[in-house]
Copies of this chain bind each other. A is one copy, B any other.
Amino acid sequence: MKGQWDVKLLLLEGPTDISFFAPLLKKVYGFREAPKDLHDKIPLGKNFENPQSSPLSRPICLVKDNQAVVMFHVGGKDRLSKALKLVISSLHIWEEHFRPNLIGVARDIDTEHDVVNWARNVLSSFNPVERDGALVVNDVEVVPFGIGSVEINNPNVYEKKELELLLTALAEKESTLSQFERSLNQLKEDAQRRLKPKDVMHVLAIAKDYDGDSMSGLYRKFVEKLINEKPELIEGLLRESGLKEFLDRITG
């Protein structure tokens, strides 16, 4: 296919984020895995043998009609700024009909309450112009997004603003948390600290009788199952966390 593509990039911290975003893009937004010849058009992150050496690891490309969303995880939050700068300065190496016009950058909020400001600092040497919450550099929009903006109001859980807080909110909506409320309370007592969202994920693993080695595998299964069985919970979370607006823009 040689037509013009509407290509958007999505830079993510780690594989865990891919496990969360991929099912949403596929099952809520109707994207599917791109055929191999499209993957071959992606000029970055080919270094499969040693992904540690590059801040951009194996890309995942999803498509829908003439739209493509290329997801990279960069191997940790610390590498996100380096990866963003690298992508911005190498846009010319993409074929013209498959060149990104928008770069979404999603990171855990943690203690960084203003992710637009964070992105502005990262991109300062490119003199970005601000427009609608995005930073425009060389006609490309950079849209920063902070993951973890949701409230759960559970006295046992410390609201650390990260991906797992969104999943904790889902587990609460889905009533797993209330079913395991006494366990959460006892774990808090025994650990002598409030539980972090990542701790709650370990309780979710027990609740779901999950046997896999990676926690991100649990996240993927949990999100996929909810999309299929209780899509209204997913929609509620997308609205509350600001994710809907962000994903609408990435897929718009």
CA distance A191 to B207 in the complex (A): 6
**Chain A 170-193 residues near chain B, CB threshold 8 A:** 179-180, 182-183, 186-187, 189-191
Most interface-central of A190, A207, A216 (chain B CB within 10 A): A190
Is the CB of A199 closer than 8 A to any CB of chain B? yes
Contacts A202-B203, A206-B199, A206-B202; A14 near B213 (Cβ below 8 A): yes
A237 interface residue per 8 A CB criterion: no
Q: Which residues of B are found within 8 Å of A190, using beta-carbon distances? A: 179-180, 182-183, 207
Which B residues are in CB contact (< 8 Å) with A206? 187, 191, 195, 199, 202-203
Which B residues touch A216, using CB under 8 A?
213
Copies in the complex: 2
A203 contacts B215, CB within 8 Å? no
> Is the pair B202, A16 in contact by a Cβ cutoff of 8 Å?
no
How long is the Cα–Cα vector from A14 to B14 in the complex, in angstroms?
22
Q: Once the chains are docked, how many angstroms separate the CA of A211 from the CA of B48?
A: 25
For A182, the closest partner residue in chain B by CB is B186
Q: How far is the CB of A189 from chain B (nearest CB, A)?
A: 7
Q: How far is the CA of A186 from the CA of B186 in the complex (A)?
A: 7
Query: Which residues of B lie under 8 Å from residue A198 when comparing CB positions?
Result: 211
Residues 207-237 (chain A) with a chain B CB within 8 angstroms:
207, 209, 211, 213-216
Q: B48, B187, B207: which contacts A49 (Cβ < 8 A)?
A: B48
In the complex, the answer to whether A182 meets B189 with C-beta atoms within 8 Å is: yes
Interface membership of A88, Cβ < 8 A: no
Q: Which B residues touch A195, using CB under 8 A?
A: 206
Name the distance in Å between A191's Cβ and chain B's nearest Cβ: 6
> Please, could you name 7 A-B residue pairs with CB atoms under 8 Å apart, sorted by A?
A180-B187, A182-B186, A182-B190, A183-B186, A190-B207, A191-B209, A214-B215
Give the top 9 A-B pairs by smallest Cβ distance, nearest first: A202-B202, A186-B186, A183-B186, A199-B206, A180-B190, A183-B187, A183-B190, A202-B205, A214-B214
Extra contacts, 16 of them, besides A48-B49, A182-B189, A183-B183 (Cβ < 8 A), are: A180-B187, A180-B191, A183-B189, A183-B190, A186-B186, A187-B203, A191-B206, A191-B209, A198-B211, A199-B206, A202-B203, A202-B205, A202-B206, A214-B214, A214-B215, A215-B215
